[in-house]
Chains A and B, each alone.
Chain A
Amino acid sequence: MIDAPLVSGFLGAGKTTWLAEHLRRHTCDLVVVNDVADQGVDDALLREAASAAGARVEPIVGGCLCCDRADELRRVLLAEIGRRHRGDAVRDGRVVVETSGLAAPHRITRMLADDPVLRTNLSLRSLVVVVDGLGGRRLLRHRHGVREQVTLADRVVLSRADLARHGELEELAATVRRLNATAELAASTLGAERPVTPADPAVADVFDDDGTVAEPDVRSCRVDLAEGTSWAEYALWLEMMRRAHPERLLRSKGIVPTRDGRLLVQSMGGDVASPVPAPAGVDTGMVFVLDRIAPEVLVRSLRAHVPSAGV
């Protein structure tokens, strides 16, 4: 039997960071990493942690595992089952599946349950949903899909606990508890977990999106930035974008090749993570996940505001 935990959570929630730390502590045979963009970044970021855990990384990019790339997930899982059946497995296998931020986990669990071979050989022991500890309440209030992920979870991990203000995580935990009465709750700083207790009494939330209001028009694009891109110009543009369009620039992630070195820069809606030096082996370029912004409009904006990027 292969244990197959599913890791889900909205774009930029911290799934990859949590998973990298998780892999350092647990053995694993295969990590399936899904990215909605055509070119993934997560698989490159996970490769080091995965190899330390003795796991292979299988990227599935250009769509969600729950819909566009469901067949590819089935193919990868069946191949892993076949590989184990052919070899002499001395222990139960373990395959971790990290979904894209837009995936609906219930569709993946249904796919696993509907396929007789997968159902017999895979055991979906837990669905871990990572929620951004800073912007999580905003997402839970306004995004039906995020509430759906949390409602189904066996474990909910509140990320970026170190940056949360006093009482903020406890309030978020209370909102999560309201949506899911049984899930195990944990707060996480760079993947290191600690317990969190929901605030009592809970702070009221108004959930204003029932999933039928506005049809999202999510698209992704990749933009290659020239060597020597001005960090000041790019940062100023990103700051203006995150303020003006936190609901439409859902995610940006990738490498900015500045004059002082390559930086791994990530934004999640209205939040920007502290840039860090980019790991080796990741291609230069930014991946943007956009809702109701045409990629050509974004490129035009970058061309005007970040001339040094040579877009």
Chain B
Amino acid sequence: MCAQCRAPSSRVDWYAAGAPDTLAGRRTARTELAAAATRQLAPLGLRVDAHPGSMTLAVRSATGRTVVVTRLDELADAVRTLTCREIDPLDVP
């Protein structure tokens, strides 16, 4: 990564922008994101929970270490914090 440019960050919560703009729609989108992320991150020993009544997601490691996130881009930061690894989606066995 270039020292001048640093890592690209997201300016808008584009995942939320693509979900229906209703309370039920936002809740469903959050639950589905937690389920999809849990499936994706299982090989790293992580799980993602969406607690009822809260608009946040909890990313947990196998040892119970937890990072609470509110946005999709924060989810990737949490994975790096908990595992010290970057996920490469092209790295498919």
> Taking beta carbons and an 8 Å cutoff, which residues of A are in contact with B?
134-135, 137-138, 141-142, 163, 205-206, 208, 230-233, 235-237, 239-246, 256, 258, 260, 263, 265, 269-275, 293, 297-298, 300-301, 304-305
Partner of A301, one of B33, B36, B72, B90: B90
A239 touches B8 (CB 8 A): no
B35 touches A232 (CB 8 A): yes
Partner of A273, one of B14, B25, B76: B14
B19 touches A134 (CB 8 A): no
B90 touches A298 (CB 8 A): yes
A246 touches B8 (CB 8 A): yes
Whether, in the assembled complex, B7 has its beta carbon less than 8 Å from a beta carbon of chain A, the answer is yes
B4 touches A205 (CB 8 A): yes
Ranked nearest first, the 5 interchain pairs of A and B with the lowest CB-CB distance are A270-B8, A232-B32, A275-B18, A274-B17, A232-B36
CA–CA, A64 and B93, complex, Å: 35
Q: What are 16 A-B pairs with beta-carbon distances under 8 A?
A: A137-B5, A138-B2, A142-B5, A163-B11, A231-B18, A232-B29, A240-B87, A241-B89, A243-B76, A244-B86, A244-B90, A258-B18, A263-B18, A272-B14, A275-B14, A304-B89
Which residues does chain A contribute within 8 Å of B76, judged by CB atoms? 239-240, 243
Interface size (B, Cβ < 8 Å)?
32
A301 touches B14 (CB 8 A): no
Report the nearest B residue to A274, measured CB to CB: B17
A305 touches B33 (CB 8 A): no
Q: How far is the CB of B29 from chain A (nearest CB, A)?
A: 7
Which residues does chain B contribute within 8 Å of A231, judged by CB atoms? 15, 18-19, 29, 32
Whether, in the assembled complex, B45 has its beta carbon less than 8 Å from a beta carbon of chain A, the answer is no
Which residues does chain A contribute within 8 Å of B14, judged by CB atoms? 235, 272-275
Q: Which of B2, B7, B10, B36 has the most CB of A within 10 A?
A: B36
A271 touches B15 (CB 8 A): no
Q: Which of B1-57 contact A (CB under 8 A)?
A: 2, 4-5, 7-8, 10-12, 14-15, 17-20, 25, 29, 32-33, 35-37, 40
A236 touches B40 (CB 8 A): yes
Q: Which of A269, A297, A305 has the most CB of B within 10 A?
A: A305
A271 touches B10 (CB 8 A): yes
Which residues does chain A contribute within 8 Å of B11, judged by CB atoms? 134, 163, 271
Q: When A138-B2, A275-B14, A301-B92 are in contact, do A239 and B72 touch as well, CB less than 8 Å?
A: yes
Report the nearest A residue to B9, measured CB to CB: A270
Q: How far is the CB of A161 from chain B (nearest CB, A)?
A: 12
Partner of B4, one of A206, A236, A271: A206
CA–CA, A300 and B5, complex, Å: 30
CA–CA, A245 and B25, complex, Å: 30
CA–CA, A231 and B10, complex, Å: 18
B89 touches A237 (CB 8 A): yes
CA–CA, A134 and B10, complex, Å: 10
B36 touches A265 (CB 8 A): no
**B41-81 vs A: 1/0 string, CB under 8 Å?**
00000000000000000000000000000001101100000
